[in-house]
Amino acid sequence: MTSASQTEREAAEWLARRESGTWSGADQAALDRWIAAATANRIALLRLETVWRKSDLLRDGPEPPASDAVDQAGGRYRAILSPLRRLRRAALGAAMAAAAVAGVILYPSWSPTPAEAYATPVGGFQKLPLADGSRVDLNTDTKLAVSLTASERTIRMEQGEAFFEVAKDRKRPFTVRAGGYRVVAVGTAFAVRMEGEGLDVAVTEGTVRVVREADNVTTLVLAGQTAVADRRGPVVRPAGIDELDATLAWRDGMLVFSESLLGDVVAEFNRYNRRQLRVEPSAAGVRVDGRFKATNLEGFLRLLEQGFGIRAAPAGDDALVLRRS
């Protein structure tokens, strides 16, 4: 067997050549032969490729670089930060600091008995361990009722968003009823968010069935997929790891945006805070990237001001209007 470090070198050469911009069908054929020659080759390639793809996370802004990004003398890489990047950098720093401070979220040690109702206030978050071993995380402004019987486990969601980690029990299906749908799982993990008329279902593990109550039309949603279900029926599409991570960041008390319009960002913040934000047309075109603590409105506003010159002015009780100064 070729030594591991030799195999790794060869894999890196292949990958680097593939990235180089000159790559022909013959090159691909040669690479395919190299991969087929030994499982170790395939693995070395997978390993490097996986991390190389992940390192896209480091590309922190969509704009082209300003000139002089490289310090010739030292060959050192210096990012010239655009406002957007600065915002994102700052947001990252703030997010990590916030996460460090927030630490562990306390949750009650009792288990609920059947048919009990739970609610979180605006900005609230609750971890709810169920008697069957399942776990529910309630996001902001959420209402649901839990009913566990010998034959079924039912959650009725009235509003809001929750994440379910379902303990396996084939004899007792776990059903979330929300917005005219039943979301049925056996042993799996998924999130349900009620919005307007319909709901969003994001599955991180296993498979769930989304059943429309009206006609029992059933749609399967697999791990790594999300379904948007409204009156017309669910639409299923694949979601990348990054997207699922962003969708579920609220479980860490965070909001994640990727080039989102300020209006959408503000709508998200408004779910978590009493103080409601409005966006004036002058600021509406701004796009926001980054991770924010959902309840840290002050921090978010400060970043908007520093990054984009957007100021928040009071507009009546518990409301602020955002405009570009």
Partner 1 sequence: MQTTEQWFIEQVLPLEGELTRYLLRVLSDKAEMEDLRQEVYVRVYESGTIRQRPATRYFVFAVARNLLIDRLRRQRVVTIDSFANLESLHLRSDEVPADRVLSGRQELARLETALNDLPPKCRAVFGLRKIEGLSQREAARRLGVTESTIEKQTGKAMRLLANSFLGANAEPAPASLPPLGARAR
* Minimal distance, residue 19 CB to partner 1, in Å: 6
Q: Strand, coil or helix: what is 114?
A: coil
Stretch that binds partner 1, among 51-59, 105-113, 261-269, 315-323 (CB under 8 A): 51-59
Token pair 């319009």 in the structure block, residue: 261
Could you say whether residue 35 binds partner 1 (CB under 8 A)? Answer: no
In this chain, which of 36, 37, 96, 105 binds partner 1, going by CB under 8 A?
Answer: 96
The one segment of 59-67, 116-124, 148-156, 317-325 that binds partner 1 by CB under 8 A: 59-67
Q: Is there binding between residue 215 and partner 1 (CB under 8 A)?
A: no
Q: How many CB atoms lie within 10 A of CB 258?
A: 14
- The rounded distance, in Å, linking the Cα atoms of 288 and 64 is 17
Does 165 bind partner 1 (CB under 8 A)? Our answer is no
Closest CB to partner 1 among residues 56, 215: 56
Q: Which of 24, 25, 26, 75 binds partner 1 (CB under 8 A)?
A: 75
Q: Which is nearer to partner 1, 122 or 249 (CB)?
A: 249
Exposed/middle/buried for 71, CB within 10 Å: 0-12, 13-18, 19+? exposed
- The residue (of 40 and 131) whose beta carbon lies closer to partner 1 is 40
Sketch the per residue contact string, 220 through 259, with partner 1: x for CB under 8 A, - otherwise. ---------------------xx--xx--x--x-x-x---
Cβ contact 106:125 at 8 Å: no
Q: Report in angstroms how near the CB of residue 321 gets to partner 1 at its nearest.
A: 31
Q: How far apart are CA 7 and CA 5, in angstroms?
A: 5
Nearest to partner 1 of 148, 303 (CB atom): 303
210 scored as a contact of partner 1 (CB under 8 A) = no
Measured between alpha carbons, how far is 183 from 154 in angstroms, rounded to an integer? 10
For residues 286-315, which are near partner 1 according to CB under 8 A?
291
Count residues near partner 1 (CB under 8 A). 57
Other beta carbons less than 10 A from residue 70's beta carbon: 12
Please give the torsion angle defined by the CA atoms of residues 26, 31, 36 and 39, in that order, rounded to the nearest 10 degrees. 180
Nearest to 14 by CA among 26, 29, 31, 1: 31
Q: Which residues contact 295 (CB under 8 A, 6 or more apart)?
A: 123, 253, 272, 273
Q: Is 284 in the site for partner 1 (CB under 8 A)?
A: no
Q: Where would I find the beta strands (DSSP E) of 139-197?
A: 143-148, 153-159, 161-165, 174-178, 181-185, 189-195
Binding residue (CB under 8 A) for partner 1 from 51, 101, 104, 106: 51
Q: Tokens standing for 241? A: 């790891």
Question: According to the binding rule CB under 8 A, does residue 37 interact with partner 1?
Answer: no
Let me know if 100 is exposed, middle or buried by CB neighbors in 10 A (0-12, 13-18, 19+): exposed
Token pair for 116: 């009990």
**Interface with partner 1 (CB under 8 A):** 1, 3-5, 7-9, 12-13, 15-17, 19-21, 38-40, 42-44, 46-48, 50-52, 54-60, 64-65, 69-70, 72, 74-77, 79, 92, 95-96, 99, 241-242, 245-246, 249, 252, 254, 256, 291
